[in-house]
């Protein structure tokens, strides 16, 4: 397979939710799904955004399942999170290491 180069505009938007290799893997997956068809930068941005959202949700779920975060639904039916007592202890320990 030819080297895949992410558009420079997309490169600027990359965050630390995924590693550089994971971003490349997502784009390669899109390219492989398209086979001989090109994809637009908007389509690449969409799969990157989906990947980041999925990673963030996974991280939040992990924190809830470990008991570090409490999950709630507010008056507008929106999900919200807050640190549990256990999460506050963990956060304090991390801050003390810095």
The pLDDT value recorded for residue 3 is 44
The pLDDT value recorded for residue 36 is 84
Per the rule left: phi > 0, alpha: psi between -120 and 50, beta: everything else, 77 is left
β-pair partners for 82? 70
The pLDDT value recorded for residue 8 is 46
Beta strands in 1-98 (DSSP E): 69-73, 79-83
Structure pTM?
Answer: 0.70
Which residues of the chain fall short of a pLDDT of 70? Answer: 1-15
The pLDDT value recorded for residue 82 is 92
Ranges of each domain in the chain: 1-66, 67-98
């Amino acid at each position: 397979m030819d080297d895949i180069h992410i558009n420079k505009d997309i490169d600027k938007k990359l965050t630390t939710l995924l590693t550089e290799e994971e971003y490349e893997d997502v784009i390669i997956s899109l390219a492989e799904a398209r086979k001989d068809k090109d994809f637009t930068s908007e389509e690449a941005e969409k799969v990157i955004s989906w990947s980041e959202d999925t990673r963030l949700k996974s991280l939040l779920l992990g924190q809830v399942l470990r008991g570090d975060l409490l999950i709630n639904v507010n008056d507008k039916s929106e999900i919200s999170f807050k640190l549990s007592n256990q999460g506050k202890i963990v956060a304090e320990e991390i801050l003390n290491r810095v």
